[in-house]
Structures are given as C-alpha cells and as structure tokens.
C-alpha cells in the first residue's frame, strides 16, 4: 500500500471517531441521561479547555523526544479508553472529566495527523500543497459517514455511539504501526519553550487590528460551539409534538445536519470568488451574517412543509458560517503576521476559536438553554433568537471597529491554497 493511501485511511479514521459523537452526544446526554443544558455545555466546553494547551504540549513532545506517529498511536489508545468509560457513565460530573481527558488526548491528534501527512507526502516526493487536500477530503467524507451510521442505526440517543467511536480509535491505534516514520527534529530543539508554546505570538495583541481580529475569532468560536452542542438536541425535541414524531427530521436528525458538511465543501471552493469580489473584511462579515441566518432559520423551522425548507436552508447557511471565517481568517493571519511567528500565530488563532471561544460558547449557551427551559420543555424559538441576536450584534460591532483595507495578496494566497 502506498504512503498516500495509508494517509487517506488514517485521516478517514481520525474524523470518523469524531463524527460518531461530536454532533449527537448532546442529544444522548439530554434525552437519555437527562442532563441539564448547563451540564451539556460543560461537557462540550471541556474540549475548549483542552485546546488551550494540549496541541502545543504534545507538539513539543513529538518535535523533541518521541516520533509523531508513535505519539499519535498512544494518544488514540488513551482516548479510546476515555470514550469507553464515557459510554458506561451517567453522572454529569464524571462525564465532564472523562470527556475532558478524551479531549486532552484526541485534540492533539488532529494536528499530529496533519504533521504525519506532510512528512509522508514529502517522503514520496509529492507536493504537499497539491496533494494534501486530496488526503484531507477523506476526513470530511468519514465524518459524514459516521453521522449517517449513528443516525440510521438509531444510536443518536444511545451510548452505542461512544462504543463505536472507541472501537474506531482502537483500530486507528493498530493502523498507526504502519504509518510513515516521523523522526524527531533538531530544528525545534534550539527554540525556547516560550516560542514552542506559541506565546511569542501574543505580541500581536499590541497591534490594534490584530487584537480586534483575535477577539472576534474567540466570539465566533463561541457561536460554533453553540451549534455543536444544541442543534441535534433541538431536532430531537420535535418528537415531543405528536404531529412530528414520525417525521424524517426526528428519526434521522444527524443526516439532516450532515447537509451542513456538504455545504462546507461548496463554500470552501467559493471563498476565492468572494474574496475577489468583496474583500476579506466583507467575507468575515458574511460569516457572521450566515450564523445569524443559521440561528434565525432554526428558530422558525419545523419538520413539515415550509418549516422543513427553513431547516434545509439553515444547514446550507452553516457551510458559509463555518468556512468564511475559519478559512479566510486563517489566511488573514498568515498574510498579516511576521513569517517568523506564522506557526505561533496560527496556533493562537486556533486557541482563540477552538479553545477560549469554544469553552465560553458551551458554558454560556448551556445557561441560556436552562433559562428558557420550564418543566423540562425548552423554548427553542426563543433560544435560537437569542443566539441570532448575539451574532447580529457581533457583526455590527465588527463592521464598525475592524478597520482593514482589502489587499489582493490575500486573494492570491487563498487561490493558491485552493
């Protein structure tokens, strides 16, 4: 088997694990374990806490002491144990800590999978810019496939989703033994610990434009976590209405949500056009507008007729909401910062979005859900409208205070990456 095919299998299993539970775990915790919104938010927020430090720390280990492919296998083994324990617990406190440790071990494997891919492709003499997208797309495919398996199998409200994820992780541990060997590097050994932790990028907060950008990266990250934690439980709650109980939306909500992943693919390809036409500031504003549209459409959607069309449109809006900020934002960072700290700056961007933003979004949104819950019944329309109002305010304030003149270099950079 060629290295490239081995990398495709690795990426496939990597995101299959995540797809088994990331979207549906909230429904299992609310409907089966009867956790409160705050408890669900805390569990989802655990990944944000792990994202603050673990990718950098594990990266140091892989750079300095242990080969990346070996660290990768160990992390997935420990993550598999955590997922197995999570499947057997019904206590919210234990679930928080188990999923926190799962995140500690799983989150770093995402960047490690990219590192292994780059090294493997280079060993084959292949251009990583040209070849990696063809490898990475297998992750999107597997994420969608996992969602469909969990939904069609009737496992959205069952701990079976966690057992399947754990089993896939063990399979990836075994497969890690045939991954390309990744020797430790001597280049990073001379860097200071501060540099390797990405702390040198914090100098960017001295620049007003970058400080504002990173602040909003955190706030948009909160919107993403709101979506991950509560979109699936919202769709499941339509079962409380006898008129909707047998609808496809209630039976297979994860399949409906997977349309958002298909939408992502389309909007990724559309980014260069939008950057040429409108510029990077407007593209990021479009992301915030798309989040407002996403939440607003969910507020008025239902499983039948026009309401179902609104739900479908909300899934399409998700693709623009997610891609237009995450992709264009990453390109903005790469263009604006000194290339001597570009890696640290990208790490800071991820920390703000998937670390601080994800944690705050999960915890605060959980409290909001609880405040609109009476006798176990959630007022989802009001909940989604509150979230929509949040992103409206976010967009207005961003438009006013973020001062940036579009530069053609950003467009060229994104076109090259695509």
Q: What is the pLDDT of residues 137-180, one digit of tens each?
A: 788 889 999 999 999 999 999 999 999 999 999 999 999 888 87
- Domain edge (last residue) among 164, 192, 220: 192
Give CA 8 to chain center in angstroms.
Answer: 20
pLDDT, mean of residues 319-345: 72
* Residue 191 clears pLDDT 70, i.e. is over it: no
pLDDT, mean of residues 173-198: 67
pLDDT, mean of residues 276-303: 92
Per-residue pLDDT of 36-74, as tens digits, reads: 999 998 999 888 888 776 665 665 565 566 667 788 899
Short-list 6, 141, 161, CA closest to 72: 6
pLDDT, mean of residues 23-39: 93
Give yes or no: residues 179 and 224 share one domain: no
* Residue 375 clears pLDDT 70, i.e. is over it: yes
pLDDT category, 350, cuts 50, 70, 90?
Answer: confident
Give yes or no: residues 10 and 65 share one domain: yes
pLDDT, mean of residues 4-17: 93
pLDDT, mean of residues 115-144: 80
Q: Which of 49-63, 114-128, 278-292, 320-334 is predicted least confidently?
A: 49-63
* Residue 218 clears pLDDT 80, i.e. is over it: yes
Any idea what DSSP says for residue 418? -
- Domain edge (last residue) among 158, 192, 226: 192
Give yes or no: residues 275 and 163 share one domain: no
Residue 135: per-residue pLDDT: 84
155/80 Cα distance (integer angstroms): 18
Residue 412: per-residue pLDDT: 47
Give yes or no: residues 32 and 175 share one domain: yes
77/70 Cα distance (integer angstroms): 11
217/213 Cα distance (integer angstroms): 6
Residue 24: per-residue pLDDT: 94
Task: Quickly list DSSP for 248-315.
Answer: HHHH-HHHHHHHHHHHHHHHHHHHHHHHHHH-HHHHHHHHHHHHHHHHHHHHH--SSHHHHHHHHHHH
List the domain range (segments joined by +) for residue 115: 1-192
Which range scores top for mean pLDDT: 56-70, 191-205, 313-327?
313-327
Give yes or no: residues 127 and 272 share one domain: no
44/38 Cα distance (integer angstroms): 10
What contacts 289, CB < 8 A, 6 or more positions away?
391, 395
Give yes or no: residues 223 and 329 share one domain: yes
What the block records as the tokens of 280 is 């990077």
Give yes or no: residues 333 and 315 share one domain: yes
Give yes or no: residues 140 and 188 share one domain: yes
Give yes or no: residues 68 and 204 share one domain: no
Give yes or no: residues 216 and 93 share one domain: no
Give yes or no: residues 374 and 230 share one domain: yes
pLDDT category, 200, cuts 50, 70, 90?
Answer: low
Average pLDDT over the chain reads 84
C-alpha distances in Å from residue 40, one per residue of 26, 31, 183, 345: 6, 11, 40, 31
pTM: 0.78
């Amino acid at each position: 088997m060629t290295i490239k095919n081995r990398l495709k299998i690795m990426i496939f299993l990597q995101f299959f694990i995540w797809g088994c539970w990331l979207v549906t775990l909230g429904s299992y915790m609310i409907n089966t374990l009867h956790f409160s919104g705050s408890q669900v938010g805390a569990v989802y927020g655990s990944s944000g806490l792990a994202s603050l430090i673990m990718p950098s720390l594990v990266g140091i280990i892989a750079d300095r002491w242990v080969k990346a492919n070996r660290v990768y296998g160990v992390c997935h083994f420990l993550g598999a144990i955590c997922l197995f324990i999570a499947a057997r617990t019904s206590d919210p406190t234990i679930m928080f800590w188990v999923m926190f440790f799962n995140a500690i071990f799983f989150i770093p494997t995402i960047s490690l999978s990219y590192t292994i891919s780059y090294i493997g492709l280079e060993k084959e003499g292949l251009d990583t810019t040209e070849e990696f997208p063809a490898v990475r797309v297998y992750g999107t495919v597997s994420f969608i496939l996992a969602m469909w398996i969990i939904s069609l199998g009737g496992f959205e409200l069952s701990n079976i989703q966690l057992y399947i994820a754990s089993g896939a992780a063990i399979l990836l541990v075994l497969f890690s033994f045939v991954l390309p060997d990744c020797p430790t590097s001597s280049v990073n050994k001379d860097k200071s610990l501060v540099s390797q932790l990405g702390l040198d990028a914090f100098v960017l907060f001295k620049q007003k434009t970058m400080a504002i950008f990173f602040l909003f990266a955190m706030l948009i990250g909160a919107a993403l976590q709101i979506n991950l934690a509560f979109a699936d439980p919202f769709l499941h709650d339509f079962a409380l209405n006898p008129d909707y109980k047998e609808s496809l939306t209630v039976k297979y909500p994860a399949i409906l949500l997977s349309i958002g992943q298909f939408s992502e693919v389309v909007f990724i390809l559309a980014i260069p056009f939008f950057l040429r036409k409108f510029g990077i500031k407007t593209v990021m504003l479009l992301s915030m507008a798309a989040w407002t549209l996403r939440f607003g459409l969910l507020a008025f959607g239902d499983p039948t007729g026009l309401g179902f069309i609104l739900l479908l449109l909300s899934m399409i809006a998700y693709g623009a909401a997610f891609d237009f900020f995450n992709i264009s934002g990453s390109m903005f960072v790469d263009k604006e910062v000194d290339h001597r700290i570009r890696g640290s700056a990208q790490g800071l961007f991820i920390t703000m979005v998937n670390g601080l933003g994800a944690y705050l979004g999960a915890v605060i949104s959980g409290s909001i859900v609880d405040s609109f819950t009476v006798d176990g019944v959630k007022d989802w329309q009001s909940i989604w409208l509150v979230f929509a109002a949040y992103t409206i305010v976010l967009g207005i304030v961003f438009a006013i205070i973020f001062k940036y003149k579009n530069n053609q270099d950003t467009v060229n950079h994104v076109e090259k990456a695509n």
